[in-house]
Amino acid sequence: MSTSIRTQVAIVGAGPAGLILSHLLAEAGVESVVIDQRSRDEIESTIRAGILEQGTVDLLTRIDTNTRVHTVGDRHDGIELRLRGEGHRIDFPGLVGRSVWLYPQHEVLKDMLALRLGSGQDLRFNVTASRVDDVDADRPRVVATDADGSELVIEADFVVGADGSRSVVRPAIAGTSRDGYFREYPFAWFGILCEAPASADELIYSNSENGFALISQRSHDVQRMYFQCAPDADPNAMSEAEIWETLQARVPGTALNEGRIFQRDVLRFRSFVARELRHGRAALVGDAAHTVPPTGAKGMNLAIADVMILADALHAMFGENDARLIDAYAETASRRIWKAQNFSWWMTSMLHKLPEHNEFDERRQLGELRSVVESEAGRTYLAEAYTGWTL
């Protein structure tokens, strides 16, 4: 059995990028079909990133004036960098007039799914794309398999890969799935979710004698925390007591509120940008186009920035028959992507220990951190990048 459908834009992936793109296209009168290999429940329950930049929140507020970002989410006007137990606050509004919001990605997804389905968006779950054909022709096609094993072919005027780091759209654009600019890091984050009240009002990024830890949050009674670990660490090898001991030792100056740990994971650190972000009538956005290490909280925000650029370009292409913005998409998106790559790499390198870390590296790293926290220019750069460059 094979079914064929036709649309203007085929979007592979119903994550934040794919869903927001379908919304912006609909606003511009451009029709799309969104597919995702996951079920709605899986999409809504996978706990991922937590920090939204000012520009992301401005967009979500424009899309839906009743967005729960402002009721369920929490505005954060700063973060703390903690150096050897000594706290330094980065005051975002005071430095750059902007803030960030703590609002988990799966909540953004719940909001966007409800909004898109409520508007009659053609959005199909449990549909797995296997390849994209004919991106050089006028009618590229996404070939997919639905939940019953039947083939679904989506013939479109344009195909967008919003399908994450294992994108199946990427090979149609870049020739291979791996061709790109790449860096792997010799460490990872051990992450936990626990049932406890917050231990501090704002996030703490701590470079301690015992290594790095990040104290983040998810809600009033669920907290997210991380500490640097080996990339091959087994998330189940440590007892809860050992995890708390490790975390407490890395945030000198704060007694962490402990509670039942109900999720643990190891996050690998990678930086990646695909060599090609667009080819013919197909383009990549979000993790399909790039990966950043989590330290700068840039992943989801960068995906949404790509989408804003691409939506304008597709609007011009479909509405005004003007291909200039789509021809410039890779270059325009790359400028922000590489700023975010640099920021994520820089935050990572300032806070983590490399395996060969010696006393020189240690002292130099503290010198670097001090040159940020003790200088208004340094704090301003950090605040500007963390809250997100204006689009």
Q: Is 51 in the site for ligand PHB (CB under 6 A)?
A: yes
Of the residues 23, 106, 290, 298, only one is catalytic, namely: 298
**What token pair was written down for 12?**
């592979």
Q: Is 76 among the residues known to form the active site?
A: yes
340 belongs to the binding site for ligand PHB (CB under 6 A) = no
Asked if 256 is part of the footprint of ligand PHB (rule: CB under 6 A), the reply reads no
Query: Which distant-in-sequence residues (6+ apart) come within 8 Å of 57 by Cβ?
Result: 69, 73, 100, 101, 103
Q: Retrieve residue 367's tokens.
A: 């010198």
| From 23-31, 193-201, 289-297, 318-326, span contacting ligand PHB (CB under 6 A) | 289-297
Q: Which of 103, 226, 329, 386 is catalytic?
A: 386
* By the rule CB under 6 A, 49 interacts with ligand PHB: yes
Residue 1 Cβ, how far from ligand PHB at the closest point, in Å? 42
Among 103, 104, 140, 205, which one carries the catalytic annotation?
205
Point out the catalytic residue in the list 76, 290, 315, 352.
Answer: 76
User: Which residues in 98-157 contact ligand PHB (CB under 6 A)?
Assistant: none
* 294 belongs to the catalytic site: yes
Q: Starting from the edge strand earliest in sequence, which strands make up the sheet with 128-133, in order? A: 2-6, 151-155, 141-145, 128-133
Q: Which stretch binds ligand PHB (CB under 6 A): 170-178, 275-283, 291-299, 323-331?
A: 291-299
User: Measured from the CB atom, is 159 or 225 closer to ligand PHB?
Assistant: 225
Please tell me whether residue 73 binds ligand PHB under the rule CB under 6 A.
Answer: no
Residue in 269, 227, 233, 230 with CA at minimum distance from that of residue 246? 227
Shortest Cβ 295–ligand PHB spacing (Å): 5
Regarding 216 and contact with ligand PHB (CB under 6 A), the answer is yes
Radius of gyration of the chain (CA): 21
Residue 303 in contact with ligand PHB, rule: CB under 6 A:
no
- CB burial of 119-141 (b: ≥16 within 10 Å; e: otherwise) equals eebbbbbebbbeebeebeeeebb
Query: 205 catalytic, yes or no?
Result: yes
Contact range with ligand PHB by CB under 6 A, out of 24-32, 110-118, 192-200, 288-296: 288-296
CB of 308 to ligand PHB, least distance (A): 22
Residue 13 CB coordination number (10 Å): 29
Among 99, 207, 271, 295, binds ligand PHB (CB under 6 A): 295
Of 17, 24, 282, 297, the residue at the interface with ligand PHB (CB under 6 A) is 297
Respond yes or no: is residue 353 known to be catalytic: no
Q: x/- contact string, 219-248, with ligand PHB (CB under 6 A)? A: -----x------------------------
Selected range binding ligand PHB among 49-57, 132-140, 278-286, 319-327, rule: CB under 6 A? 49-57
| Least distance (Å) between residue 161 CB and ligand PHB | 24
Give the x/- contact pattern for ligand PHB in 172-211, rule: CB under 6 A. -------------------------------x--------
Pairing of strands 204-208, 211-217: antiparallel
Binding site residues, ligand PHB, CB under 6 A:
49-51, 203, 214, 216, 224, 294-297
**Would you name the residues annotated as active-site residues?**
76, 205, 294, 298, 386
